[in-house]
Amino acid sequence: MTDPMERRNRPALALHVPEPVGRPGDEPDFSHIDVPPAGRVARPDVSERPDAMRGHVYELIRVLDADGSAVGPWDPRLDVDKLRRMLRDMLMVRAYDDRMYRAQRQGKTSFYMKCTGEEAIAVAGAHALDREDMCFPTYRQQGILVARDYPLTEMMCQVYSNRGDKLKGRQLPIMYSDRAHGFFSISGNLGTQYPQAVGWAMASAIKGDSRIAAAWIGEGATAEGDFHNALTFAAVYRAPVVLNIVNNQWAISTFQGIAGGENTTFAARALAYGIPGLRVDGNDALAVYAATRWAADRARSNLGPTLIEFFTYRVEGHSTSDDPTGYRPKAEGATWPFGDPVERLKQHLVKLGEWDDERHAALIEELSAEVRAAQKEAETRGTLSAASIDFPQDVSTMFDDVFADRPWHLQEQAAEMTAELEAARK
């Protein structure tokens, strides 16, 4: 091999590995993030050509200003009942997350994932869609289920893998599924649901239906090939789908620069596919609602897909198995320049004269009681007992639903397992 010093007069190449601004021990610093004023971004007609709105991928759609007023063309002008309902759902998600996090720490379940700081994205997004639209969520959009009135006890039973779990204890906690509520089965494999949503939307178009699909992906998982597949197919067939990216800055321990966000935005990915891209303040429930509604209207008008990047911050650890103090500054979330989504919506309602601290505190108390009651109810059907072969489910169901019917080899294996358990219990 040639000595590099002997090569022609060329500089040595250097690998660039992106690094976040702060690491443990550093003070949180978001001075590199531009905080544009609310109301500045134009709202094009839904029929606007994607190439005429290229600038949108580098802007940030914001509706709520620093005082809590709704300003600019993206103000969805929601009635106060809707605003209060969204606030209630976001608070409910927060109360639910706290309760389930605690349940995991108490050993009642093996695992949990909170969505703290991201409540507006799933909740306002769900409220901007029709109930019959199909959502293809990741594991951090529990707010969709809450917004669609899915019973908390059902969610908890899934987390506990107990007798009430409709998924029969087969899925890791939080990987909910409910067809009737338009909540597609969550998979552990990242990004897979993104092109599936496109296929669902294509099917809706093939059948001349009026329903659309919506999909969510984290900024980290946009690096998966399925993200590219989804955008290609969505663009090619003008599939009626809303493709959401939740950029919460962190994929477990890797900051968004490692996913390819260092020199561009995730919304800008849309440009190369010839579809419109919007970039939205994910902590602004009204902006989330307005952008989702715009994209949904566009899809419903046969104008094709929209990619939306929701800019937000993952306030808590990635999961109950994660400790963020190992890779980022402590309490970074508290200094996030776009604030807290719940507080901002609350402030807006207060500003409108439709809310106050007393009502807010009372609502939190009411929701907390509701969550506790649901938990009590769910726990009557059992919690995960990791150290027992007296499973909460009927153990023979383990072999069901691999196929529509049990083939011979599964029948034999079921008999084998039953015999093992019977022997062990003696």
Partner 1 sequence: MTVMNMIQAINNAHDVMMERDDNIVVTGEDIGYFGGVFRATEGLQKKYGTRRVFDAPIAEGGIVAVGIGMAAYGLRPVVEIQFADYIYPGFDQIVSEAGRMRYRTAGEWYLPMVIRSPYGGGIFGGQTHSQSPEALFAHACGIKTVIPSNPYDAKGLLIAAIEDDDPVVFFEPKRIYNGPFDGHFDRPVTPWAKHPAAEVPDGHYTVPIGKAAIARAGEAVTILAYGTMVHLALGVVAELGIDAEVIDLRTIVPVDIETIEESVKKTGRCIVLHEATRTAGFGAELSALVQERCFYHLEAPVVRVTGFDTPYPHSLEWAYFPGPIRLGNALKKVLED
Provide the binding-site residues for partner 1, judged by CB under 8 A. Answer: 134, 166-168, 170-171, 175, 177-179, 184-185, 187-189, 192, 194-204, 206-207, 213, 225-226, 228-230, 232-233, 236-237, 400-404, 407-409
**Structure-token match 């900024």, residue found:** 219
Q: What is the dihedral of CA 67, 71, 76, 82, to 10 degrees?
A: 20
Smallest distance, partner 1 to C-beta of residue 353, A: 45
CA separation, residue 104 to residues 161, 376, 385 (Å): 12, 15, 12
Please name the residues in contact with 347: beta carbons below 8 A apart, sequence gap of 6 or more: 64, 67, 68
Q: Which is nearer to partner 1, 103 or 198 (CB)?
A: 198
- Residue 154, Cβ neighbours under 10 Å: how many? 17
Q: Which is nearer to partner 1, 188 or 353 (CB)?
A: 188
Q: Which is nearer to partner 1, 226 or 284 (CB)?
A: 226
Smallest distance, partner 1 to C-beta of residue 309, A: 21
User: Strand pairing of 277-281 and 306-311?
Assistant: parallel
CA separation, residue 178 to residues 50, 145, 151, 154 (Å): 34, 9, 11, 10
Dist CA 47 CA 307 (whole Å): 15
Smallest distance, partner 1 to C-beta of residue 377, A: 21
Q: Which is nearer to partner 1, 317 or 382 (CB)?
A: 382
Smallest distance, partner 1 to C-beta of residue 423, A: 20
Smallest distance, partner 1 to C-beta of residue 186, A: 9
Q: Which is nearer to partner 1, 182 or 277 (CB)?
A: 182
Q: Which is nearer to partner 1, 133 or 340 (CB)?
A: 133
Smallest distance, partner 1 to C-beta of residue 292, A: 20
Q: Which is nearer to partner 1, 170 or 372 (CB)?
A: 170
Q: Which is nearer to partner 1, 105 or 170 (CB)?
A: 170
Smallest distance, partner 1 to C-beta of residue 153, A: 17
Asked whether 139 and 113 are in contact (CB, 8 A), the reply is yes
Smallest distance, partner 1 to C-beta of residue 172, A: 10
